[in-house]
Chain A
Amino acid sequence: MSDVFKVGTHEFTSRLIVGSGKYKDFETTKLATEASEAEMITVAVRRVNITDMGKENLLDYIDPKKYTILPNTAGCFNAEDAVRTLRLAREAGGWNLVKLEVLGDTETLYPNVVETIKAAETLVAEDFEVMVYTNDDPIVARRLEEIGCVAVMPLGNPIGSGRGLANPFNIRVIKQRANVPIVVDAGIGTASDAAKALELGADAALINTAIAEAKDECMMARAMCDAVRAGRGAFLAGRMPKRAFASASSPTEGYIWD
């Protein structure tokens, strides 16, 4: 059965989106990304260090011909900086599909929703395909969809916290009311969190720290790949109802003592 993950004009087989931050070196980034079987990978946009450029670059290891590069606006705290950043990214690589995140403060890294909405409006008007990081707030999620974002990406928990899904009920509500893909972005700490996100109906999961900070990055990348697949399978299969009391698995007739 084909189960294509459609985002705007793009189509993917994998429902795992990975980040490229926090790895100890480029080689590990490359190997873990391959192990994850992800087709889409986020990157950050930063000033070139003119005085010390280094010999190697992330994109020497992550081939933009092989992966869909998803430039992000990490570190932006207002709409203007986010829009500038993504205009530059589009010019650098021709990437139209982008991850918008506008943060509120450095301690929680929670989204600044007001600035996120402003930036989304500008970017959509400039024909970007915007995947937008936001709170697990169904009202805001719908607003971002109405603006024209191609995917809404509610957090599971704060970025890099690895605490799993704080509010699974909201993820389900957001999904039930959405007409665009919902991606759980941030907070996933281990495989069961990723599986849970997809079981709830999220269309994909975006994971960085849980893989990059694992003791064995490649093994965790494979585990996340399996978890996302398992969660999606369980969602599509349709889970059994939860019951208050037991329901015997073996027939309750034909006993030898009857």
Chain B
Amino acid sequence: MQIQLNGEDTQVSAGNLTELVVELGLEQRMIAIERNMEVVPKSEYATTKLEENDRIELVHMIGGG
């Protein structure tokens, strides 16, 4: 399925957000996900299904002032 991941059209095989995190190898990272402009709590990753053309933002913390 094609989704827009961090602004880029991306092909993924994941069906939900838990699978997406695993597919991207981010299980150990402190991240947050926004799906179609709404933040998704980690407790809802497994039940949040990915749909064609979903806009997913996946963020982490970097150095900043």
Contacting B at CB under 8 A, from A73-102, are 74, 84-85, 87-93
Out of A48, A64, A69, A208, name the residue touching B60 (CB < 8 Å).
Answer: A48
Which residue in chain A gives the minimum CB-CB distance to B57?
A: A47
Q: Does B46 make an interface contact (CB < 8 A)? A: no
Contact of B63 among A43, A84, A88 (CB under 8 A): A43
B37 contacts A44, CB within 8 Å? no
B42 touching A91, Cβ below 8 Å: yes
Chain A neighbourhood of B1, CB < 8 A: none
The interface size of chain B toward A, counting residues with CB under 8 Å, comes to 28
Inter-subunit contact B34/A50 (CB<8 Å): no
Asked if B65 contacts A48 (CB within 8 A), the reply is: no
B22 at the interface (CB under 8 A from A): no
CB of A16, distance to nearest CB on chain B (Å): 13
In the bound complex, residues from chain A placing their C-beta under 8 Å from that of B24 are: 48, 50, 53
In angstroms, how far is the closest chain B Cβ from the Cβ of A224? Answer: 13
A29 interface contact, C-beta 8 A: yes
List residues of chain A with CB within 8 A of the CB of B60: 45-46, 48, 57, 92
Cβ–Cβ < 8 Å partners of B65 in chain A: 19-22, 42, 44, 72, 74, 159-160, 206, 208-209
Could you tell me which A residues sit within 8 Å of B by CB distance? 19-23, 29, 42-48, 50, 53, 57-59, 64, 69, 71-72, 74, 84-85, 87-93, 159-160, 206, 208-209
Q: Which residues of B contact A (CB under 8 A)?
A: 5-8, 10, 24-26, 29-34, 37, 39-42, 57-65
User: Could you give 27 example pairs across A and B, Cβ below 8 Å?
Assistant: A20-B64, A20-B65, A21-B65, A22-B63, A22-B65, A23-B63, A42-B65, A43-B61, A43-B62, A43-B64, A44-B61, A44-B64, A44-B65, A45-B59, A48-B6, A53-B25, A59-B61, A64-B30, A87-B34, A87-B39, A88-B33, A88-B39, A91-B32, A92-B30, A92-B59, A92-B60, A206-B65
